[in-house]
Amino acid sequence: MMRCMLRAKVHMATVTEANIAYEGSITIDEAILQEAGMLPFEQLMISNVNNGERFETYIIPGKKNSGEICLNGPTARKGVVGDKIILFCYSYLNENEMKDFRPKIVHVDSKNRILRKK
């Protein structure tokens, strides 16, 4: 049996920009992506702590160490600059893969600098 499990999470990132004119997606600092093991164009679930919105999009890499977290296109309607968001990536795992699996959890500060990883 395959189960959908949390693979990676970025906890309490801060939205730095909302660009309605862009085609879509979310731009994320490449350093954060690397630390969390997230990939460009990967599907991403986003939960906005400030307004309760929960939505999906895909990842666009931003400039490394920029702290950039930009909601693009229609997702720009789901939050505003300064909102706290949580980013989730999931994977399907079989029973054997789940035994020793632990998700990567990355905590960032208010400027989206990496604090620690679990």
Instruction: Give the active site residues.
Output: 25, 58
Q: Name, in order, each residue with C-beta under 8 angstroms of 53's C-beta and a sequence gap of 6 or more.
A: 46, 47, 78, 79
Query: Nearest-5° angle of CA 41, CA 44, CA 46?
Result: 140
Decide: helix, strand or coil at residue 95. helix
Helix (H) or strand (E) holding 59: strand 54-62
| CB-CB neighbours of 26 under 10 Å | 28
Tell me which amino acid residue 80 is.
V
